[in-house]
Structure 1
Amino acid sequence: MTQIIQEQAPAERTRKPDWIRVKAPTSAGYNETRQLMRRLNLATVCEEAACPNIGECWTKKHATVMILGDTCTRACAFCNIKTGMPRAVDAMEPQHVADAAAEMGLKHIVITSVDRDDLPDGGASQFVKVINALRASTPDTTIEILTPDFRNKREQALESIVAARPDVYNHNLETVPRLYPTIRPGARYYASLRLLDTVKRLDPTIFTKSGVMLGLGEERMEIHQVMDDMRSADIDFITMGQYLQPTPRHAKVMEFVTPKQFEGYAAIARAKGFLQVASSPLTRSSYHADADFAQMREARNAKLAKG
């Protein structure tokens, strides 16, 4: 007897509303930025994570460099970065990042990385080398880093980065605690909070920053609680953006949060005391990071002036 096997159609992703759609990148500035990244053998989270803002940012010569390769040792349900065994750390990467910042004339640069659980320090030493290379090459460039959680690594890993004194230390909580087992299974919510609290304890002058994605099935009061948790850790800057499903095998979009709802969350965050708030459907960790940093610094100066 012949067995007929019916092939299942791939899961259909939720149709995006008009407010989340962006144009495909085609500008000359976009192509120049792309060519520079290829020439210097640098990965970017803009490409690897399929960021919807890549056209706008790269046209303005803003790119978020992703160090420690393009392969992650974890497999979060929201992330488009490939998972596997990473290559050896590139010894020339710090200088290449510094060269890119110099060629693009960056006043502010954002450096992130994949998770490198295979390394004894989780890749912390590479962050330090990149910061040092940037300070030597473009000393006036302010530096924002977006790091992994360095879970189960030596405490000295985090301390070494803080000692290098980035201007902004970002680590994203990503979602509410209830969703961690399915959305961010390799991480722990309170470990991430503790990391950011430790940064502020070690050096109160470093701005701290964290972000969450909305539309994964979280409830309104859970977002309010995350805000309170962040303020308890003295986090200065919160970002909130719409989760977008990168492929059918990733976590589904449970809701498209409206721009008005994002504005409501922003008002609540400001009332809770954050120095800076970025909240919109297209907000991402490094979106408009240069302007946001300038505003955050002004807000702190104004606060200090008032005593």
Structure 2
Amino acid sequence: MSRARKPDWLRTRPPSGERFTEIKRTLRERDLHTVCEEANCPNMGECWSGGDGAGSGPGTATFMLMGERCSRGCNFCDVETGGMGPLDPDEPANVAEAVAEIGLDYVVLTSVDRDDLDDQGASHFARTIAAIKQRDPEILVEVLIPDFQGDPDCVRKIIDAEPDVIAHNIETVERLQWPVRDRRANYEQSLSVLEQVERESDIYTKTSIMLGLGEYDHEVYQTLTDLREADVDVVTLGQYLQPSRSHLEVGSYVHPDKFETWRAVAEDDLDFLYCASGPMVRSSYKAGELFVDAVIREGRSVEEARTTARAASRSV
């Protein structure tokens, strides 16, 4: 069966420019990986090159810790599974050095799942956060963490490291958790991670939902409702794109107008602090990071921060 043709609104510019080349060189020199590359993110050129894709902003890269191979096999994800190697003890310092050389002031850290490790990599996350903050306490650090199999001690290690944002992705509606995600992941387990962060800290929380996997509108609304009841602060919604023919097929291409409807529902009806919603939006997305930056660093009101983030999103 041939795959449906992508609509015009899903076209992106190929990554290019001096800023993009500089970041890629720095990462390769330190043997670092980014989820931008591993997951073939369509926004890589925009984020790496700066807010407008032309190098005028500081740029954002989402560092992927603990290797290129994952202990799980989610059917939407392009990261390879199995054959994980030992952790690189120098990785936290190398990430901190790369952040300083690139000149980032907002850093996103994520990782593969490492169910093979005693604490599933939570301590490695914490060491990397500490290394970045020790070099420059003013840098904002967002972590996009695995579910750690719902282990509260692992989640607590992340909380104690005091990042500025803790994100964990619910990914899809409850009915579609399998076959979308690995069977070791589940809806309630992900909600429990987000609830623990909110219960035990005042750190901002964030999550992401993919659309176009066969979900119904009432299921999306229920997922957003469940996330708000867990006091999640920021949510992003984006279009699922099939990485290869061996991954789940796209159920539908959701029109940008529908994404705008979900943004209004999230912010106006359900009172999320911020929602980035659009076909090309991903969990680590420049507009969402600009919102958090404006609230935390600049002390802007939620409405002012929303305006800043939306303006940047429209400029690309």
TM-score of the alignment, normalized to the shorter chain, above 0.5: yes
Coordinate RMSD, CA, aligned: 1.6
Give how far 1:119 is off.
0.5
Residue 74 of structure 1 is matched in structure 2 by 72
Give how far 1:32 is off.
1.1
1:99-135 deviations in Å (ceiling 9; x for gaps): 1111121111100000000011110000100010011
Give how far 1:13 is off.
2.6
Q: Does 1:268 align with 2:265?
A: yes
1:25-54 deviations in Å (ceiling 9; x for gaps): 222221111111101110100000000011
Residue 138 of structure 1 is matched in structure 2 by 136
Residues matched between the structures, number: 291
Residue 311 of structure 2 is matched in structure 1 by none
SS in structure 1 at match of 2:149: coil
1:261-283 deviations in Å (ceiling 9; x for gaps): 00000000012010011000111
- Asked whether the equivalents of residues 12 and 248 of structure 1 are also in contact (C-alpha less than 8 Å), the reply is no
Q: Distance in 2 between matches of 1:284 and 1:296?
A: 20
Give how far 1:295 is off.
4.3
Q: Does 1:206 align with 2:165?
A: no
User: What pairs with 1:173-192 in structure 2 (closer than 5 Å)?
Assistant: 173-184=170-181, 185-192=183-190
1:122-166 deviations in Å (ceiling 9; x for gaps): 10000100010011112110110000000064x211111101111
SS in structure 2 at match of 1:119: coil
**Residue type at the aligned position of 2:139:** T
SS in structure 2 at match of 1:151: helix
Q: Distance in 1 between matches of 2:118 and 2:302?
A: 36
1:157-214 deviations in Å (ceiling 9; x for gaps): 11111011110000000000100121113301001001100011110x2000001000
| Larger of the two Rg values belongs to structure | 1
**Residue type at the aligned position of 1:15:** R
SS in structure 2 at match of 1:29: helix
Residue 51 of structure 1 is matched in structure 2 by 41
1:236-267 deviations in Å (ceiling 9; x for gaps): 00000000000001000011001100000000
Give how far 1:300 is off.
5.5
Residue 109 of structure 1 is matched in structure 2 by 107
Residue 6 of structure 1 is matched in structure 2 by none
Q: Does 1:42 align with 2:32?
A: yes
- Asked whether the equivalents of residues 150 and 193 of structure 2 are also in contact (C-alpha less than 8 Å), the reply is no
Residue 93 of structure 1 is matched in structure 2 by 91
Q: 1:223 to 1:132 in 2, by over 3 A?
A: same
SS in structure 2 at match of 1:85: coil
**Residue type at the aligned position of 2:134:** A
Q: 1:216 to 1:301 in 2, by over 3 A?
A: closer
Q: Distance in 1 between matches of 2:303 and 2:260?
A: 25
Q: Distance in 2 between matches of 1:54 and 1:12?
A: 27
TM-score by length of 2: 0.89
User: What pairs with 1:225-240 in structure 2 (closer than 5 Å)?
Assistant: 225-240=222-237
- Asked whether the equivalents of residues 25 and 54 of structure 1 are also in contact (C-alpha less than 8 Å), the reply is yes
Residue 291 of structure 2 is matched in structure 1 by 292
**Residue type at the aligned position of 2:218:** M
Give how far 1:296 is off.
4.7
Give how far 1:292 is off.
2.2
SS in structure 2 at match of 1:223: helix
Residue segments in structure 2 that go unaligned for 5+ positions in a row: 51-58, 305-316
**Residue type at the aligned position of 2:168:** H
TM-score by length of 1: 0.91
- Asked whether the equivalents of residues 175 and 213 of structure 1 are also in contact (C-alpha less than 8 Å), the reply is yes
Give how far 1:92 is off.
0.4
Residue 305 of structure 1 is matched in structure 2 by none
SS in structure 1 at match of 2:276: strand
- Asked whether the equivalents of residues 13 and 245 of structure 1 are also in contact (C-alpha less than 8 Å), the reply is no
Q: Does 1:162 align with 2:152?
A: no
Moved over 3 A (4+): 295-302
Instruction: Percent identity, please.
Output: 44
- Asked whether the equivalents of residues 150 and 189 of structure 2 are also in contact (C-alpha less than 8 Å), the reply is no
Residue segments in structure 1 that go unaligned for 5+ positions in a row: 1-10, 303-307
Give how far 1:59 is off.
1.5
Q: Does 1:19 align with 2:9?
A: yes
- Asked whether the equivalents of residues 150 and 190 of structure 2 are also in contact (C-alpha less than 8 Å), the reply is no
User: What pairs with 1:233-252 in structure 2 (closer than 5 Å)?
Assistant: 233-252=230-249
